[in-house]
Amino acid sequence: MTTDIEIICIGNELLIGKIKDTNAHYLAKQATILGSNVKRVTVIQDSISEIAKTVCEAIGRTPQFIITTGGLGPTFDDKTFQGIAKALNLNLEVNPTALAMVKEKCIEYAKKRGLPTNIELTPPRVKMATLPQKTKPVKNPIGTAPGLQVDVEGTVLFALPGVPIEMEAIFNETITPLIKQAVGDEVFCERSIFADNIMESRLAPLIDKVMSDNKGVYVKSHPMRTESEPHIELHLTIIAKLEQDPNAKLLKAAKELTVLIEQNCGLVKADS
């Protein structure tokens, strides 16, 4: 059984194109490398109702993991905890553990800058520690805002900060071990071959045949046209148990595709 993951990226700045969504790219790539199956990436506004609706819909699809990014900070537009609380029909409350995390980080920053360490827990700081009831704060190794973890009927929901370096740190420290445990002995393998001066439409039936002949192997064509001629990457992937020798399956599929292209189209070269 595959380990399914959904990613929800929250922020008006993403939707208006002010900020490029590198978080989704990072999470999708890392989760895939770990052997899980990323089924959906959703980008939504900083809206409590939109967050609640999207989280509810994702839970309804019963993935093993849901990861949200963004909206955990101290400002008015950071509404992820409120949205999750609404989705799960939970009240918000100041979490003592989260509040201690926030205070510890504030003191740490003050010490680094030679400032007084008698930190005042202002309302914006307390806001970052105000979580839905029955949820668990997740330590942020780099930033001030804690993340969140909660198990919802077998789906583990994480809320991570939107700052990429903070999001990545929490993912690597907290979520990666859980995904590895869920995935077990399944691994993700990939391989590429490249075809030059061939139209993608000519490759389509060959790709279909290779995927039909090699169950579990997925082949995606990526046109990378230059000014002079077409240049296409054919990316082969598989998620399978180690005992099934997925690398051997990929190699077999790549060889078959190479032969078909050479017989029907022309030259092809393997990824080094």
- For β-strands 130-132 and 136-138, DSSP reports them as unpaired
Domain boundaries, the chain: 4-183, 186-270
Query: Is CATH 3.40.980.10 what the domain over 4-183 is classified as, yes or no?
Result: yes
pTM above threshold 0.85: yes
Nearest-angstrom CA–CA distance, 109 and 127:
18
The pLDDT profile of the chain, 272 residues, written as one tens digit per residue, is: 789 999 999 999 999 999 999 999 999 999 999 999 999 999 999 999 999 999 999 999 999 999 999 999 999 999 999 999 999 999 999 999 999 999 999 999 889 888 888 888 999 999 999 999 999 999 999 999 999 999 999 999 999 999 999 999 999 999 999 999 999 999 999 999 998 888 888 999 999 999 999 999 999 999 986 666 778 999 999 999 988 999 999 999 999 999 999 887 755 555 64
CATH code, residues 186-270? 3.30.300.330
- Topology agreement, domain 4-183 and domain 186-270: no
